[in-house]
A and B are shown apart, each in its own frame.
Chain A
């Protein structure tokens, strides 16, 4: 079974809309939930994992995911699983251990349910721009629907019980995917990271757990979910990310209007030149230059494309997306060639 059809879908959360969308690509809310009667997945037998998978699929047949795609991760080839990781729909953990794991995905990919990850259920809602509260409303609606059919592990003193005690309480991780090239270019990134840490927030990469960061794209999220209400957690992150976005825009404006304008122009227009003309593009190179092109677009400069297209290209140039596009395994050189051709074509330069 192949997921090639997903390449044609536009992901609702990658659209350039919502507050601060020049800096905040997307807002994501994740809720961790577990069934009270089953071992956590890392300690569960294959038959127990299957029971959880079946129960989750049954419970999700009603409610917000009723029309969604119900996928068993073990049914898919490695390249399809990688595609799901690249689209942030499953974690690398599910990719590596697909047996009796599942994911349910709404058509616009803005709402999904991962089954048998570290916890039995990981509900995820994504929205474009800085819109955590809206994302939370979607996740909460799914949560309310699922809990009518499932009995969650819960204590009134410690909240939702999770495999890792750091997720205890609300089970909520709210995060914003932010683009911070201005802070990077002005050398302020380390200071910003320190301030975030003091505010109880953490910076991660695009793929969830761990500290992976790709290019100038960071994921800012809450460190803990116990002791505060969901609204308090969401409000604190929205406030911090809003301030971060304003600071990033100030940096971009300062770079664009001050003595360093020529340096920034050179970075942006070199990127345009490479993206428009290169015949071979590595993944890293494409991300780096698309990041620079995105800066030029947010400053209103005369560069090709639009922010929505750049958001889309950042996903499409990933290796599994190219493999499915080509319908065959690609050696690195062929992938680089296809990537370059795809970027040129979408930017209208071919």
Chain B
């Protein structure tokens, strides 16, 4: 089967996208699948949630993380932080957001490293 995107290479990744509880299928070559993978990420539910949260929530504290210079607006756009220190710097904004990402959970209950740095 030929790739549905480039119409040239052999399809090697078969995508069934779950949408409204229906499975839609397409076939892609390795290169187009890698591009599609990157395209999937910005569309995920997390970014939608971040956009909603950003519209409703005022920012607090200095604009940029002192460790990596990321702004909260950039985080909202990318859905990814720049460094572990972002969690300390943006903690006021995150306290409301994290339970929304984690089905209401806000506290870690699993294992801890033996030499954990405390925030």
Which of A60-68, A210-218, A239-247, A308-316 faces chain B?
A210-218
Is A42's beta carbon under 8 Å from chain B? yes
- B102 engages A203 (CB within 8 Å): no
- B14 engages A209 (CB within 8 Å): no
* Docked CA distance A40–B69 (Å): 12
Binary CB contact string for chain A from 91 to 112 against chain B (1 if under 8 A, 0 otherwise): 0110110000000000000000
- Chain B residues with Cβ below 8 Å from A224 are 101-103, 105
* Docked CA distance A316–B98 (Å): 42
Is A293's beta carbon under 8 Å from chain B? no
Is B82's beta carbon under 8 Å from chain A? yes
Is B51's beta carbon under 8 Å from chain A? no
- Chain A residues with Cβ below 8 Å from B21 are 190, 193-194
- A209 engages B117 (CB within 8 Å): no
- Chain A residues with Cβ below 8 Å from B14 are 212-215, 284, 287
Binary CB contact string for chain A from 304 to 342 against chain B (1 if under 8 A, 0 otherwise): 000000000000001100000000000010010000000
Binary CB contact string for chain A from 265 to 306 against chain B (1 if under 8 A, 0 otherwise): 000000000000000001111010000000000000000000
Question: B18 is contacted by which of A165, A193, A227 (Cβ under 8 Å)?
Answer: A193
In the complex where A38-B83, A147-B113 touch, is A165 in contact with B1 (Cβ < 8 A)? no
Q: For the complex, count residues of A whose C-beta is within 8 A of B.
A: 69
What is the interface residue range for chain B against chain A? 35 or more
Interface SS, B side:
loop
Is B111's beta carbon under 8 Å from chain A? yes
- Chain A residues with Cβ below 8 Å from B98 are 158, 165, 168, 226
Is A221's beta carbon under 8 Å from chain B? no
- B102 engages A169 (CB within 8 Å): yes
CB closest chain-B residue, reference A336: B10
Contacts between the two chains (Cβ within 8 Å), count: 193
In the complex where A147-B114, A189-B23, A190-B22 touch, is A214 in contact with B13 (Cβ < 8 A)? yes
- B110 engages A34 (CB within 8 Å): no
Name A169-201 residues within 8 Å CB distance of B.
Answer: 169-170, 172, 189-190, 193-194, 200
Is B16's beta carbon under 8 Å from chain A? yes
Supplied contacts A92-B37, A153-B84, A332-B9, 10 more A-B pairs, CB within 8 Å: A38-B83, A154-B113, A158-B87, A193-B21, A209-B37, A212-B16, A213-B15, A227-B109, A229-B109, A283-B10
Q: Which residues of A contact B (CB under 8 A)?
A: 34-36, 38-40, 42-43, 82, 92-93, 95-96, 118, 140, 144, 147-148, 151-159, 161, 163-166, 168-170, 172, 189-190, 193-194, 200, 203, 205, 207, 209-215, 223-230, 232, 282-285, 287, 318-319, 332, 335
In the assembled complex, 28 residue pairs joining A and B whose CB atoms fall closer than 8 Å, in A order, are A42-B78, A43-B68, A144-B114, A147-B114, A156-B119, A157-B119, A161-B81, A161-B84, A163-B81, A164-B79, A168-B108, A170-B111, A194-B21, A209-B40, A210-B37, A211-B18, A212-B16, A225-B110, A226-B98, A226-B106, A226-B107, A227-B103, A227-B104, A227-B109, A283-B10, A284-B1, A285-B1, A287-B14
Q: Which residues of B contact A (CB under 8 A)?
A: 1, 9-18, 21-23, 27, 30, 33-34, 36-37, 40-41, 46, 67-68, 70, 78-84, 87-88, 94, 97-98, 101-119
